[in-house]
Amino acid sequence: MEEIWDQLVAYRIKHREVSIKELFKSDSGRFSAFSCSLEDMLFDYSKTSIDKESLKLLLCLAEESTLQQRRDAMFSGERINTTEQRSVLHTALRNRSSNPVYVAGRDVMPGINSTLAKMASFAEGIRAGDIHSASGSTFTDVVNIGIGGSDLGPSMSTLALAPFHDGPRTHFVSNVDGAHITDTLKDLNPARTLIVVASKTFTTIETMTNARTALRWMRKELGEYAGSHFVALSSAHDRTDEFGIPSDRVFGFEDWVGGRYSVWGPIGLSLMLAIGSEKFSEFLQGAFEMDNHFRTTPFERNMPVLLGLVGVWHHNICDYSSRAVLPYDQRLSRFSAYLQQLDMESNGKRVDLNGMGLQRFSGPIVWGEPGTNGQHAFYQLIHQGTEVVPCEFLVAANGFEANLSEHHELLLSNCLAQSEALMCGRSLEDVRLLLAEQGIEDPDGNLVAHRVFPGNRPSTTLVYRKLTPSTLGRLIALYEHRVFVEGCLCNINSFDQWGVELGKQLASELLPLIKAGDGSQSKDGSTAGLLRTLDLLRRDVTV
Ligand code: F6P
């Protein structure tokens, strides 16, 4: 395995001068050879520097790694999250087959299916007005209170599937900053609002603080009936009981569903309320199809494997430190935020599965904004900055706005223009000619230098027919498996998140100091100084 890593690095060094444009020149079939599809979704990675030989080596790396074995272990419920001794079975939540899935000898599918049926009956009851508010009226608004995986999955997906909304309006509160809940609740009527408290552990400080604030808001209007406007999505039944949510309003899931992988079950309730249980099933079906593809397709045509290999090539072999995810799809405007948790919380690790320091980079920095907005903001750096940023474009062939086809055509042309510009660039000679044509004089060559685009910048493009529930399901599952692939190749555990603990602990230690306005106990001079300044400012004293 180490040998293949070395071969890849050596190959890259030897061929780094070969441009992507040249690769196209020497291979007329490059697009078909360096793309793969799953029905109406196509992944094109031909605009990268990967050639036949490096692809062979990358596939070899995948074959020789534990990927196949760990993939099968994941699907079959083995405890591959070793630091927490847990199975990793978000795929069971979207298992649309009648095949059982065992955890420690017990088939978990009956439990999953009955929770799904309970969610569907609740969601349809709310949507139809059969389950109503304390005063007997229909719920018009749903507020999901959660953070991290208990927010990003449902909020990103609910926005993505806006054309399918035919249920109550949905809102999402995540930040402990009181501004978030205040601004969300200010135009809502408590008498017609359902609060969904989403927290796997039911201990997360941000979520519990927001939930208590929402309860007080509700109590002001409904008094003792406030509790009937609350629902919990959690695996901690003792704590949901303590909060006062009756068990028939608790939708549970087990510890083998990680927070950032949880949108497929109860945590997806707000999405189900917005689009209905039938469309939610289509969402699960799409993900299930991607699961089957990932499980059964040979690596050379396997979309998550290839996406993962492209990621490893860029991050670990070419040393590009970040990855921009650029959906030319406005409704995917939260997709990169969602991916930040999925990818960076999963693969942002410093040790391998055995606790040994990693020999190579773990996951990259993931960022992005929807096109075309990004073009008018940070694309300057992507095109001409000194750092190479591999770009991952996503685009639907069709929009939903049939009467605005001109908009969609512009969107498509912009998306393709960007990947073409990144690859082809604009040479010194071309800029000189252009200036001459325009009659612009540039005696010292200064203008020319500013207008050159180096090109040879890698990108991939994922094309799909339309952003339907099933497409979104496929898309999320594709990225989930990609993260898994990259984690396997780097030999890390993608399913724990110890790196979030220290900050949480320190925040709880600092809270009494903030309240007391006393920095004398702090562990360092900067924190002490900041505490002192904050205390003065909070008491309105000049600093
Ligand atoms: O702090 C990180 C984290 O544990 C995430 O992994 C998780 O998605 C989020 O917090 C929320 O956790 P919970 O659903 O238990 O409130």
pLDDT of the residue at 523: 79
Q: How far is CA 294 from the centre of its chain?
A: 18
Ligand 1 centre to CA of 147 (Å) is 6
Nearest residue (by CA) to ligand 1, atom 9, is 148
Residue 376 catalytic? yes
Q: Angle formed by the axes of helices 52-64 and 303-312, to 10°?
A: 110
Average pLDDT, the chain: 96
Ligand 1 centre to CA of 209 (Å) is 14
CB-defined site of ligand 1, < 6 Å: 147-150, 199-201, 204, 207, 259-260, 345, 497, 500
pLDDT of the residue at 474: 98
Residue 504 catalytic? yes
pLDDT of the residue at 221: 94
Atom of ligand 1 nearest to the CA of 345: 6
pTM of the predicted protein model: 0.97
Strands 41-44 and 102-103 turn out to be: unpaired
Cβ-contact 451, 431 below 8 angstroms: yes
Instruction: Identify the segments of the chain with pLDDT beneath 70.
Output: none
pLDDT of the residue at 345: 98
Query: Largest Cα–Cα distance in the chain?
Result: 81
Q: b/e map of 77-109 (b: 16 or more CB within 10 Å)?
A: bbebbeebebbbbbbbbbbeeeeebebeeeebb
